[in-house]
Each structure stands twice: as structure tokens, then as C-alpha cells.
Amino acid sequence: MSGPRGAAEPETARIRATYLLRCGEGDEPERRARDLAWEQTVELPPGSVSAELEERAVGRVEELAETADGRWRARVSYPAAACAGDLAQLLNLLWGNVSLERGVRLERLRLPAGLRAELGGPAFGIEGVRRASGVRGRALLCAALKPLGSSPGELADLAREFALGGADLVKDDHSLADQPWAPFADRLRRCRDAVAEANARTGGRSLYVPSVSGSPERIAARVEAAVEAGCRGVLLNALPVGLPALRAEAARGRAFVLAHPSFAGGFLGPEHGVAPDVLLGTLFRLAGADGVVYPNAGGRFPFDVETCRAVNRRLREPLGGVRRAFPVPGGGINVERIPRWAEAYGHQTVFLIGGGLYRQPDRVGGTRRLIDELERIGTGGADPEP
């Protein structure tokens, strides 16, 4: 099922998106795939535009094949020009209107080099986060400041304990914004000071990573305040604020960004949505995340190991000039299983331990033991380096 090819446009300038389609009774798969390609570009039924315009702008069904589970795999290509170098329009092109249908899952995505370069990706990436934290040759540990409702002093006390234990990153819970219980400016100052004091005592380089979600203006102001306070990274709720807001932050390049997956579950349906590795891997990375938090297998969310490995792969695989990003598995990792996960995912990983460290009676010692485990494993993990 190949459409006509525009001679003026090299094949490399096309976006390639693979969808799995669940066809209902009476749905003709070829028609369904063609309708999708037209809907996502010209929003008209096949045949309603001139041949020239079709060649220029309409999506093309390049391949269509039935899958083992009775769905149809449709490989559709779009002209890269359709998204005009804009991340919001890329999301729109890939899964905008068809999101309102049923049984359409975006499984795979390949972008031409020019578009990848325009979108940009992480400003720091794995290497940049390693430079900021000074950690080489092992996975990183990220502790979480919680809970919502705590005072700045209470959060700073926790931050001090995690930093004394040697946590590489100490991030705010993604629920922390500018609540009256712990206003942003006060929390930033207190936690920054606490981590700096601990670093002075241990000679370590723990980094405090404040949560900066809000309106576009607030994000920019909070990132600026964080950088002025000496922070090297921030945490952003990527989908509630919008992926273009994450992109804007990466383009400014003031601090590395850990992207939280809050709100992402809407897109992750097994029959209708976007595959987790495409959304949290490729798209979050292109948007500019230097690290992507996701719910690890075996925690309190229903991701399985294959899904996690797929996300890891997309974050680390070669992608033209786009920097690699850290997978940040979290979401209820049992501290006793850290060695197992470090072996499984390899050292290009940041392990996020929230409640598990929070509930330890000796947080300094508990943190220290985890760092020791990660040092012991070093680069000996199983995931091949892509």
C-alpha cells in the first residue's frame, strides 16, 4: 500500500508513525488506515483534495498488515513540514484528532534528522547530569522530599538527611508548588541551604532539585530563582504544564529537567493511546527532558519490566544529535530490590526512592547503604549500552 511519492521531497523528510488499529465489525482496515492518514493532516475524507495537495500534505499509508492479536499495523508517513518544527503540532499530527476515536495506538515513531534537530531534545542529557552531580561509573540515587503539607523546615531537615547519606539528587515531590504550607521561595532557600551544609560536612555533591511546575511565566521565574540559588536541575510535571513548556525550558538551558509522568496515564491505554516508550521515551526526550520519571515494574503502578526496558531504550538509543536522557524509575521501589534493578537496568539510570527512604528510621544510613550498593554494582549492570 504505497502512495505516490513527491519527487521534490526526499524520503528522509518524512515522519514515520506506526499505529495499531483495532477494527470493529464492518471496519475495512485499508479504509480505516487511509482515513487516519487524511484525518491527521487535511481533516477531510480521502479524495476531497487535488492530486498536488494530496502529494504535498496528506499522510500516506506505507504498509498495512494484520497482527497476531487481530489488530492492524499501519505504517503512516507524514511530511515533516506538517508540524512546522513545532512540538505542539507534532503531538497534534501524531495523535490529535484520532485521540477522539477508539482503538488507535501509536506504537512507533521515527523522525527525520532535520526535525529532530529543530525540536532539540535535552540541553544536558545523561552526560550533563553526570557532570553536574560528579557521579561516574554507577547509577545515581534520587531521594524525594515529601509529603505535601510539610513546612520548609521539615522538608529541609529531610533534605539534609538524604544529602548526609550521599543521595546524588534530592528532589521535591511533584505535588510541591507554592502552597501556603511551604511557599516556593522559602522552601527553595531552606532546602538549598540544608543540602549545601550537608555537602560541606561530607565533601559530597548532592544536588537539590526543586519542583517548578506552574504557568509558563511561573515556571520561567522559578527556574531562574532556582538557578540563582545554585540549583543545577528542576522537576517539571511535563503533561500538566504541557510538553511545549518543557521544551521552552530545555531551549533556555538554564537547568537540567527531570520530567514527571503525572497525567500521562490517560495516553497509555493498551488499545488506544500512545505506547509508553514513545510517549515517555521518545517524545519526552525530544521535548527536552534530561531525565524521565516513570513508575517502575513491581511498584504500585501497573508497568511491567518489558515496558520499563522499552522506555529505557528510547531514552538512551542513538537519535541523531539528540542527547541521551536518564531513565528515572520510581513509584514505590522497594529499597531492598535496588541491587536487582541496578543489575537489570544498568548504570545509565537514576533510581528514585520516595516513600521507601522516607519511612526508614535511619535515613542517613539507609541512603548511604543504597549508594554503597550502587557503587558495588558500578557499571556491571545487564542493560547493554546503546
From 42-50, 197-205, 333-341, 364-372, give the range in contact with a copy of itself by CB under 8 A: 42-50
Question: Which listed range, 56-64, 130-138, 163-171, 222-230, lies at the site for a copy of itself (CB under 8 A)?
Answer: 56-64
Residue 227 as a binder of a copy of itself (CB under 8 A): the answer is: no
Give the binding-site size for a copy of itself (rule: CB under 8 A): 85
What DSSP character marks residue 359? T
Assess 329 for contact with a copy of itself (CB under 8 A).
no
Nearer to a copy of itself (CB atom), residue 181 or residue 365: 181
Of residues 13, 23, 57, 221, which one binds a copy of itself by CB under 8 A?
57
- Comparing CA positions, the residue from 265, 320, 311, 267 lying closest to residue 289 is 311
Interaction between residue 261 and a copy of itself (CB under 8 A): yes
Interface residue with a copy of itself, options 32, 138, 146, 171 (CB under 8 A): 146
**What kind and span of H or E run contains 256?**
strand 256-260
Which of 66/271 has CB closer to a copy of itself? 271
Among positions 109, 135, 243, 297, the unique one binding a copy of itself when judged by CB under 8 A:
243
Determine the number of helices (DSSP H) and then strands (DSSP E) in the chain: 16, 13
Candidate segments 224-232, 311-319, 350-358, 372-380, binder of a copy of itself by CB under 8 A: 350-358
By CB under 8 A, what part of segment 189-208 binds a copy of itself? Answer: none
∠ CA(354), CA(141), CA(370), 5° rounding? 90
Measured CA to CA, the distance from residue 168 to residue 199 in angstroms comes to 11
Q: Cβ of residue 377: shortest distance to a copy of itself, in angstroms?
A: 27
Question: What is the phi/psi pair of residue 167, to 5°?
Answer: -55, 135
Q: Which is nearer to a copy of itself, 39 or 373 (CB)?
A: 39
Rounded-to-integer distance, Cα 304 and Cα 298, Å:
7
Please identify, among the stretches 13-21, 198-206, 216-224, 319-327, the one whose residues bind a copy of itself according to the rule CB under 8 A.
216-224
Pattern 2-31, a copy of itself, x by CB under 8 A = ------------------------------
Q: Where are the alpha helices (DSSP H) in the chain?
A: 29-39, 51-57, 87-95, 113-119, 125-133, 152-164, 184-202, 216-228, 238-241, 243-252, 276, 284-287, 305-316, 338-345, 355-358, 363-377
Distance CA 218, CA 237 (A): 13
How far apart CA 116 and CA 110 sit, in angstroms, is 9
Does 221 contact a copy of itself by CB under 8 A? no
**Out of 92, 193, 199, 369, the residue judged to bind a copy of itself by CB under 8 A:** 92
| Residue 212 DSSP SS3 | coil
Instruction: Tell whether residue 88 is a contact of a copy of itself (CB under 8 A).
Output: yes
Amino acid at 340: R
Task: Report the residue from 194, 358, 370, 374 that binds a copy of itself according to the rule CB under 8 A.
Answer: 358
Stretch that binds a copy of itself, among 133-141, 144-152, 225-233, 366-374 (CB under 8 A): 144-152
Torsion of CA 290, 293, 298, 301, to 10 degrees: -150
CB of 43 to a copy of itself, least distance (A): 6
Does residue 47 contact residue 53 with C-beta atoms inside 8 Å?
no
The residue within the footprint of a copy of itself, chosen from 189, 218, 313, 369 (CB under 8 A), is 218
Which CB atom, from 49 or from 196, has the smaller least distance to a copy of itself?
49
| Mask for 278-297, x = binds a copy of itself (CB under 8 A) | -----------------x--
Q: Which of 68, 217, 318, 361 binds a copy of itself (CB under 8 A)?
A: 217
Cis preceding-peptide flag for 147 (omega within 30 of 0): yes
Separation in Å, CA 139 to CA 175, 189, 340: 25, 28, 12
Q: Which of 34, 160, 192, 272: binder of a copy of itself (CB under 8 A)?
A: 272
